[in-house]
Amino acid sequence: MPKYYEDKEEDGRACGGVREDLRQCLLESRCVLQENKSPKQCLREGHCRSLQVTFFACKRSMLDTRARFRGRKGY
């Protein structure tokens, strides 16, 4: 189960769960903690890539007109 659902408030924004998990993944990564780089730099280097792809798919599904029937991608 994603970390987002454990003792957290509901985020009303679209793709809020994926957004929160991506943020936590970046902030807890070795790149940020030990190398003292910004989360933006770590994201460019490819850390937390699977969550980044899931977040992109969720945001992209908001523009897809078929999402009315299928629902948003992600969780």
Q: What is the mean pLDDT of the chain?
A: 82
Whole-model pTM: value is 0.73
Q: What is the pLDDT confidence band of residue 61, given thresholds at 50, 70 and 90?
A: confident
Residue 72 near residue 62 (C-beta atoms within 8 A): yes
Cα gap 16→22, rounded to integer Å: 10
Cα gap 43→65, rounded to integer Å: 29
Interval 42-60: pLDDT, tens: 999 989 999 999 999 888 8
